[in-house]
Amino acid sequence: MELVYFLIEVVVKSIVVFACLMLTVAYLTWAERKILGHVQVRYGPNRVGPFGLLQPFADGIKAFFKEDLIPGRADKVCFVIAPMIVIVSAISLFAVIPFGNKLVLLGREIKLVIADVDIGILYIFGLASLGEYGVVLGGWSSGNKYGLTGALRAAAMMISYEVALGLSIIGVLMISQTLRLTDIVLGQGGGFWHWNVFLQPVAFVLYMVCGLAELSRTPFDMPEAESELACGFNIEYSSMKFALFFMGEYAHMVAVCAVSVTLFLGGWQPPIPALSFIPGVVWFLIKLVALIFFCIWERGTFPRLRYDQIMYFGWKFLFPLALINLVVTAIVLAIR
């Protein structure tokens, strides 16, 4: 019977996380347009429902009824599976992210994480690198030179920034002595001064900058620079396939912010121990929303970098900085 309970628990948790994630992604598109609108002193979407709140559903229905084109020169199989790879890898990232502490329900102790695995952070890196196949394949299989150029740029940028991203979190792993995400969060308990963001401030900034590059958001949105590549790797995509790419991108954004909250901002730990009567999920969501707001806000602030500037910045500034941060952390840990 234990096995049946376990299966039910996993299935219920997966469904809840999936549903919440899809809702978040839908309203993220609305929030992005609304916030960018206010940054640029206009209203943003405000016609469908109060404050434009039904806009995501209208967009979804519109995408559904658009014509689904597959170009004649396209590699059909790759063209169809590319958006699927992007969204599946983005959603699967949430399997290891802890949303809260243990919960006792019907006499069972339930951990608020789908899979509490030993190698959580490596799992995130592995799946994120698999997600790049979707982008590369999408650009290549459309048989379009703009698409291919966008895909090549995207892949080159993601690979370059993944190096600094990986190095930036090693300091955190050295401090917490584990790769298990729940243990990393538990190690940051007891007030906000124990959070890794104060022990590893450089790593946090590095992680957010590289995370933006990983998401190819402004200032790193070179792969889809409208003015020179028309749209980048997803140029030939229409209807639901385009919507899948879009949703995958937003789900990936939530994932990057959630990992950042887990690693640096204490996950579901309250900022002051006295506030622990508020459930951990609430704290997690507050921090997550703050980081997501930052990601949208900076899009309205920064201009786009040139391709060579991005490469220069990644390899000659971020990469050495990550190495120095790593060495300093190691020395401090060894002396202490």
State phi, psi for 102 to the nearest 5 degrees. Answer: -65, 155
| Nearest to another protein of 175, 292 (CB atom) | 175
Q: Please name which of 277, 161, 177 lies closest in space to residue 212, comparing C-alpha atoms.
A: 161
> From the CB of 297, what's the least distance to another protein, in Å?
31
By CB under 8 A, residue 184 contacts another protein = no
Stretch that binds another protein, among 118-126, 200-208, 240-248, 256-264 (CB under 8 A): 118-126
| Positions in 129-158 near another protein (CB under 8 A) | 129-130, 132-133, 136-137, 140, 148, 152, 155
> From the CB of 229, what's the least distance to another protein, in Å?
17
Residue type for 75, please?
D
Spatial distance between the Cα atoms of 64 and 179, rounded to a whole number of angstroms: 41
| Nearest to another protein of 151, 203 (CB atom) | 151
> From the CB of 35, what's the least distance to another protein, in Å?
33
Spatial distance between the Cα atoms of 223 and 245, rounded to a whole number of angstroms: 14
> From the CB of 77, what's the least distance to another protein, in Å?
8
| Nearest to another protein of 248, 270 (CB atom) | 248
By CB under 8 A, residue 123 contacts another protein = yes
Among 159, 275, 278, 331, binds another protein (CB under 8 A): 159
Binding mask 1-40 for another protein (x = CB under 8 A): xxx-------------------------------------
| Residue whose pair of structure tokens reads 């300091």 in the numeric block | 171
Strands 100-105 and 108-112: antiparallel
CA 171 to chain centre: 20
Q: Measuring CA to CA, how many Å separate 295 from each of 48, 209, 270?
A: 25, 10, 23
Among 78, 205, 240, 326, binds another protein (CB under 8 A): 78
By CB under 8 A, residue 75 contacts another protein = yes
> From the CB of 122, what's the least distance to another protein, in Å?
4
> From the CB of 209, what's the least distance to another protein, in Å?
21
Residues at the interface with another protein (CB under 8 A):
1-3, 75, 77-78, 117-119, 122-123, 125-127, 129-130, 132-133, 136-137, 140, 148, 152, 155, 159, 178-180
